[in-house]
Amino acid sequence: MQPSPRKPPTTTLGRLDRNIEALLERRQQEADNASLEDRIARTITRFAGSMAFVYIHAVIFGLWILTNTGVLPVLPAFDPSLVILAMVASVEAIFISTFVMISQNRMAEVDDKRADLNLQISLLAEHETTELLNLVSAMAEKLGVEVEARAEIEELKQDVKPEQVLDAMETRSRDED
């Protein structure tokens, strides 16, 4: 009998599948909730970063140059000094770089959210590990089990506050500068 697709699986692989599905659903939600401007910028940036974009520009610029230098006399030269081509390319570069920066800003926001999530999960895991270490230490003490690395375990049993870590990192960073 197959488990229901809605029922959360209890195996490690099932939890992994559930987590992947949740992340994919969140990405889809964020894409669906993106503003029109963000979707336009993402589409333009995606196209500007494609080989199709390169091929189209190679053909257009190549024909422009060949026509205006007289190598391909299909049309009369309309930009013999190629100044118009340079201006068009410059304006296009301005717009494309702006769209790329918009997309990078959006990606940075998403990265910040992921980093925050990662930090929260790490802090939760650290707290849970500390609690488990306290529990196992209490059990070992009650059972009379001798532990060789007692000082190290006592240090690990201490809850580490993120603010202390950040303060220590900032202090060391200032000292190195």
Q: Where are the domains of the chain?
A: 37-176
Band of residue 160 on the pLDDT scale cut at 50, 70, 90: confident
90 pLDDT higher than 80: yes
pLDDT digit string, tens, across residues 41-71: 999 999 999 999 999 999 999 999 999 999 9
Look up residue 159 and give its two tokens: 């809850």
Question: In angstroms, how far apart are the furthest CA atoms of the chain?
Answer: 98
- Looking at the whole model, is its pTM more than 0.75? no
Rounded CA gap, 145 and 137, in Å? 9
Q: Which residues of 105-128 are buried (b: 16+ CB within 10 A; e: fewer)?
A: ebeeeeeeeeeeeeeeeeeeeeee
CA count, 13 A, side-chain hemisphere, 96 = 13
